[in-house]
Amino acid sequence: MKLTRVRAHDGHVRVGVVEDDGIHVLNGVTDILDLLTSGHATLVEAAEAAGRTGEVLAPEDITYLAPLATPPTVRDFYAFEQHVKAGRAWRGLEMDPDWYRIPVFYFSNPYATVGSGDIRIAPGSRQFDFELEVAAVLGGHGRDVTPDEAEPLIAGFCILNDWSARDLQKREMTLSMGPVKGKDTATGLGPWLVTPDELAPYKEGNGYKLRMRCEVNGKQYSDALWSDVHWSFAEMISYASRGTEVRPGDVIGSGTCGTGCINELSRTHGEASYPFLTSGDEVTATIEGLGSLTNRIVATPAPARLRPDTV
């Protein structure tokens, strides 16, 4: 099943099942998080229990929103080896052996989840970037779970676009803190949430043999396979649950796939070939089986200064 959260032309938010003939609206549901926390064993059962209104929306008559308005948490991992290797290579570093032992992550901003439409550049940034990823959304609780116990907790998958202000990120991280404002402005999720049974035929290695691509203004930037991921979502969820809880609605990001961001491509092939994003650019992230998520980049005012001598 594919479930989506949308805004119709009348301004109302609805949740529906994506079918060939359109989006079949569910009764009284405006957030997929409500289905995930309804107590049903699976997302499919929760949707079927809600029932359909009979209203069918055409894709051209809606705007895709993030499947969850405000996820409880957003953990973003670093699980694709090609991307990590490229990032270390241009700094003259070998791969850290611990990367193969620990599926590291950072916490992102759950208030910043967005679907299709406008993405505002992080205030003060001149190096705004996309990052093509997969997200798993949890439908169950767990604490100190094994990978085998973690797998059934996954309610569905969707595209994740980790919008990143590279210049802000680099400056902050030299102070031995996380990405902070470099990642705080927007996290794209959507266009729908796909239940794991739909992807089962494509299972391969630690992921799925499904192509991941991203285009900027119609030019292909990224091309990768989900199955190239080093850490499985089950392993990432298991690690996330060590000493704490994971809960329904938690978002787990895979990290950027190989070739999945401008920062990697421009460092490898030159910024003239792969310039950072500016106002008016259109970015389309596509993953086979998960759909496409299109966003337009828009400018923002300069940030207010904290003090006269600060940024």
**Range 23-46 average pLDDT:** 98
Total residues belonging to the chain = 311
**87 pLDDT above the threshold of 90:** no
Structure confidence at residue 185 as a pLDDT band (50, 70, 90): very high
CA distance linking residue 224 with residue 216, whole number of Å: 16
User: What structural domains does the chain harbor?
Assistant: 2-62 (no CATH), 74-298 (3.90.850.10)
Phi–psi pair at 80, nearest 5 degrees: -100, 115
By the 10 Å C-beta count (0-12 exposed, 13-18 middle, 19+ buried), 72 is classed as middle
pLDDT tens per residue, range 272-281: 999 999 999 9
Q: What residues form DSSP beta bridges with 128?
A: 165, 277
CA distance linking residue 290 with residue 301, whole number of Å: 34
Structure confidence at residue 90 as a pLDDT band (50, 70, 90): confident
pTM tops 0.75, yes or no: yes
CA end-to-end span of the chain, whole Å?
47
**Other Cβ atoms within 10 Å of 152 Cβ, number:** 15
pLDDT tens per residue, range 97-152: 999 999 999 999 999 999 999 999 999 999 999 999 999 999 999 999 999 999 99
